Amino acid sequence: MINIRPLSFLLGLFLAVVAGLMLIPAGVSLYHAEGLAGEFFKSSMITFIAAMMAASTGFRSRLTLSTRDLYLFTTLTWVVVSLFAALPFTFYHHISYTDAFFETMSGITTTGSTVLSGLDDTAWSILIWRSLLQWLGGIGFIVMGVAIFPMLNVGGMRLFRTESSDWSDKWMPRTQLIGRSLVKVYLLLTVLCCLGYLAAGMTPFEAINHAMTTLSTGGYSTTDSSMTHFSSLAHWNGSLFMFLGGLPMLIFVQMMHMRSVRVWNDQQVKGYLAFVIAASLTLGWWLSREQQMEFFPALTLATFNLISVVTTTGFASTDYSAWGPAASIIFFFLMFVGACSGSTSGAIKIFRFQLAGAVLHKALRQQIHPSAQFPQRYNRRTISEDIVRSLVSFSMLFIATIVLLALFLVLVGVDPVSSLTGAVTAVTNVGPGLGEVIGPAGNFASLPDAAKWALSLGMLLGRLEIITVAVLLLPTFWRY
Amino acid sequence: MINIRPLSFLLGLFLAVVAGLMLIPAGVSLYHAEGLAGEFFKSSMITFIAAMMAASTGFRSRLTLSTRDLYLFTTLTWVVVSLFAALPFTFYHHISYTDAFFETMSGITTTGSTVLSGLDDTAWSILIWRSLLQWLGGIGFIVMGVAIFPMLNVGGMRLFRTESSDWSDKWMPRTQLIGRSLVKVYLLLTVLCCLGYLAAGMTPFEAINHAMTTLSTGGYSTTDSSMTHFSSLAHWNGSLFMFLGGLPMLIFVQMMHMRSVRVWNDQQVKGYLAFVIAASLTLGWWLSREQQMEFFPALTLATFNLISVVTTTGFASTDYSAWGPAASIIFFFLMFVGACSGSTSGAIKIFRFQLAGAVLHKALRQQIHPSAQFPQRYNRRTISEDIVRSLVSFSMLFIATIVLLALFLVLVGVDPVSSLTGAVTAVTNVGPGLGEVIGPAGNFASLPDAAKWALSLGMLLGRLEIITVAVLLLPTFWRY
Ligand SMILES: [K+]
Ligand SMILES: [K+]
The CA distance from A178 to the nearest CA of chain B, in Å, is 25
User: Would you call A152 and B328 a contact, using CB atoms and an 8 Å cutoff?
Assistant: no
Interface contact B193, partner A, CB < 8 A: no
B contacts of A403 (beta carbons < 8 Å):
333
Q: State mean pLDDT over A204-216.
A: 94
Q: Do B368 and A477 touch (CB under 8 A)?
A: yes
If you average pLDDT over residues B254-281, what whole number do you get?
A: 88
Beta-sheet pairing, B381-382 with B377-378: antiparallel
Is B104 in contact with B82 (CB distance < 8 Å)? yes
Straight-line distance from the first to the last Cα atom of chain A, in angstroms, rounded to the nearest whole number: 5
**A267 C-alpha vs ligand 1 centroid, how far in Å?**
24
* Residue in A closest to B406 by C-alpha: A329
Minimal-distance CA residue of chain B relative to A421: B329
Q: Is a pLDDT exceeding 80 seen at residue A139?
A: yes
Helices (H), A259-343: 267-290, 295-310, 325-334
B294-299, Cβ contacts within 8 angstroms, sequence gap of 24 or more: B297/B232
What is the structure's pLDDT at A405? 96
Of B71, B367, B395, the CB nearest to A395: B395
Q: How many other C-beta atoms are found inside a 10 Å radius of the C-beta of residue B407?
A: 17
Q: Which residue of B has its CA nearest to A330?
A: B407
Question: Taking CB atoms and an 8 Å limit, are B392 and A391 in contact across chains?
Answer: yes
Which ipTM did the prediction report?
A: 0.88
Residues of chain B with C-beta less than 8 angstroms from the C-beta of A471: 364, 367-368
Instruction: Find out whether B25 and B39 touch, Cβ atoms under 8 Å.
Output: no
Residue A167: pLDDT band by 50, 70, 90 thresholds?
very low
Nearest Cα of chain A lies from the Cα of B327 at a distance, in angstroms, of 9
Residue of A67, A356, A476 lying closest to B396 (CB–CB): A356
The beta-carbon neighbor of B325 closest among A359, A396, A415 is: A415
Give the least confident one: A162-166, A308-312, A325-329. Answer: A162-166
| Residues of chain B found within 8 Å of residue A396, distances taken between Cβ atoms | 356-357, 359-360
| B405 CB-side CA count, 13 A | 30
Q: Which of residues 42-101 of A touch B (CB under 8 A)?
A: 67-68, 71
pLDDT band at B20, cuts 50/70/90?
very high
Segment A406-464, tens digit of pLDDT: 999 999 989 988 999 999 999 999 988 888 888 877 789 899 999 999 999 999 999 98
- Band of residue B257 on the pLDDT scale cut at 50, 70, 90: confident
Residue-level pLDDT at A172: 55
* Whole-angstrom distance, CA of residue A130 vs CA of residue A85: 10
Contact present, A377 and A383 (Cβ < 8 Å): yes
Which residue ranges of B are tagged as binding site for K(+)? 110-111, 218, 312-313, 429-430
Residue numbers in A near B359 (CB within 8 A): 389, 392-393, 396
Residue of B329, B420, B464, B469 to mutate, interface with A, max A Cβ within 10 Å: B329
Q: Does B325 touch chain A (CB under 8 A)?
A: yes
Q: What is the pLDDT of residues B402-437, one digit of tens each?
A: 999 999 999 998 998 899 999 999 999 998 888 888
Highest mean pLDDT among A54-63, B194-203, B339-348: B194-203
- How many Cβ atoms sit within 10 Å of the Cβ of residue B294? 9
- Residue B348 sits at the chain A interface (C-beta within 8 Å): no
Hey, are the CB atoms on B367 and A467 less than 8 Å from each other?
yes
**Percent of chain A as helix, strand, coil, to the nearest 5:** 70, 0, 25
- Amino acid B293 reads M
Q: For residue B16, with 0-12 CB atoms within 10 Å meaning exposed, 13-18 middle and 19 or more buried, which class applies?
A: middle
- pLDDT tier for residue A253 given thresholds of 50, 70 and 90: confident
Is pLDDT at A270 greater than 60 in this prediction? Answer: yes
Task: Categorize the per-residue pLDDT at A246 as very low, low, confident or very high, splitting at 50, 70 and 90.
Answer: very high
From A59-73, A107-121, A153-167, the region with the lowest mean pLDDT? A153-167
Percent of chain B with pLDDT over 70: 92
Each residue's pLDDT tens digit, B128-168? 999 999 999 999 888 887 777 777 767 677 667 665 444 44
Q: Which residue of A has its CA nearest to B466?
A: A364
CB A28 within 8 A of CB A50: no
Q: Which of A289, A322, A282 is nearest to A303 (CA)?
A: A282
Q: Does B124 touch chain A (CB under 8 A)?
A: no
Closest CA to A406 of A480, A332, A343: A332
Of A366, A392, A471, the CB nearest to B367: A471
Q: Does B420 touch chain A (CB under 8 A)?
A: yes
CA distance B3 to B143: 22
Q: How far is A304 from chain B (nearest CA, A)?
A: 21
Q: According to the model, what pLDDT value does residue B480 have?
A: 59
Query: What single-letter amino acid sits at B135?
Result: W
Residue B431 Cα, ligand 2 centroid: separation in angstroms? 5
The pLDDT assigned to A49 comes to 92
Whether B373 and chain A come into contact, CB under 8 Å, resolves to no
Residue B96 CA, chain-centre distance (Å), reads 24
Instruction: Say which of B389, B410, B471 has its CB closest to residue A359.
Output: B389
User: How much distance in Å is there from the Cα of A402 to the middle of ligand 1?
Assistant: 17
Identify which ligand lies nearest to the alpha carbon of A111: 1
Q: For residues A17 and B54, give the distance between their C-alpha atoms in angstroms, rounded to a whole number.
A: 79
By CA distance, what is A355's nearest residue in B?
Answer: B392
The verdict on a CB contact (< 8 Å) between B389 and A362 is: yes
Length of chain A: 480
**Any A CB within 8 A of B449 CB:** no
Chain A interface, best mutation among B68, B69, B367, by max A CB count within 10 A = B367
CA atoms of A150 and A156, how far apart (whole Å): 8
What's the pLDDT tens digit per position in B58-94? 776 666 677 788 888 889 989 999 999 999 998 877 7
Torsion over CA of A254, A140, A458 and A330, rounded to 10 degrees?
-40
How far from A26 is each of A18, A86, B93, CA to CA, in Å? 13, 15, 78
Over residues A271-291, the pLDDT tens digits come to 999 999 999 999 999 989 888
Q: Which of A367, A383, A391, A412 to mutate to test the interface with B (most CBs of B within 10 A)?
A: A367
Q: Chain B, 221-280: which have a CB under 8 Å from a chain A CB?
A: none
Q: Which numbered ligand comes closest to the C-alpha of B459? A: 2
Which ligand approaches the C-alpha of residue B215 most closely? 2
Nearest CB neighbour to A407, from listed B71, B329, B389: B329
Select from A333, A360, A393 the Cβ nearest to the Cβ of B396. Answer: A360
